[in-house]
Amino acid sequence: MSRPIKIAPSILAADFAKLGKEVRDVTDAGADWIHLDVMDGHFVPNISYGPDVIKALRSSSEAVFDCHLMISPCDPYLEAFAKAGCDIITVHAEAGPHLHRSLQAVRSLGKKAGVAINPATPESLIEPVINDVDLILIMSVNPGFGGQKFIPSILEKARRINAMIGTRAIDLEVDGGITVETAPLAAAAGINALVAGSAVFRGGTIEAYRENISAIRAAAVGATG
């Protein structure tokens, strides 16, 4: 079953000195989702921003706020991210011992629940919660930083997860090192949601963003046949 291609610019690569305008511009440039990388300096070796920043950005865009929590523990903060206006809240399978409870909590907050797995994490961690998620995020870099190189070995895992999803209404997302070169590889493996930070925000103008988004989208759509 082919799911529509979604382009989700990661604002980690945006100009933090004018984040509201960047979110507005990248939305106007054609972003389907806004990918929000939340980092705590504990689960990943970097610190980004929290729910208050997301709340401040909410009025800058009507796009889906796709929140990627690279934090541990995550449960104590789920409500704050839901109230901040996130539409999808994705937790890492590696972030704690009670993944099913975290996903249940996200859905009980009325939000779409996502599970993310790192490059070294097998898809077997997802099987027990396949009916409790609306999105599966496959990391194609080790989380914490933008501008890293795509790890091609995740493509085989993506194919297996795509088969696991079957006809379920689950978006399959990839995150890290997505460019016009790697986007078709991901789409051909059954991935439909593409996170891209540096490849979208390259150029720094709304015109550049529009060109970058449509080039990545065209490359992905072209590979879905």
Residue 144 binds ligand DX5 (CB under 6 A): yes
Q: Which does 199 bind (CB under 5 to 8 A by kind): Zn ion, ligand DX5, none?
A: ligand DX5
In Å, what is the CA distance from 64 to each residue of 111, 128, 130, 148, 157? 11, 27, 22, 25, 26
Candidate segments 84-92, 94-102, 136-144, 151-159, binder of ligand DX5 by CB under 6 A: 136-144
- 196, 213, 216, 220: which one binds ligand DX5 (CB under 6 A): 196
Distance CA 30, CA 152 (A): 27
Residues 176, 55, 210, CA angle at the centre, nearest 5°? 45
Distance CA 197, CA 12 (A): 6
Q: 225, 175 in Cβ contact below 8 A?
A: no
Interface with ligand DX5 (CB under 6 A), residue total: 22
In Å, what is the CA distance from 176 to each residue of 8, 21, 44, 66, 106? 11, 23, 14, 15, 24
In Å, what is the CA distance from 25 to each residue of 138, 148, 219? 27, 24, 22
Residue 175 binds Zn ion (CB under 5 A): yes
Amino acid identity for residue 82 in this structure:
A
Catalytic residue among 32, 37, 40, 66: 37
Helix (H, G, I), strand (E, B) or coil at 91: strand
- 72, 104, 148, 224: which one binds ligand DX5 (CB under 6 A): 148
Candidate segments 77-85, 186-194, 197-205, 216-224, binder of ligand DX5 by CB under 6 A: 197-205
Closest distance to Zn ion from the beta carbon of 166 (Å): 25
Closer CB to ligand DX5, residue 34 or residue 126? 34
Closest distance to ligand DX5 from the beta carbon of 189 (Å): 17
Told to judge if 37 belongs to the known catalytic residues of this protein, a careful annotator would answer: yes
Residue 112 binds Zn ion (CB under 5 A): no
Told to judge if 175 belongs to the known catalytic residues of this protein, a careful annotator would answer: yes
User: Which residues form the catalytic set?
Assistant: 37, 175
- List interacting residues with ligand DX5 (CB under 6 A): 10, 12-13, 35, 37, 68, 141, 143-148, 175-178, 195-199
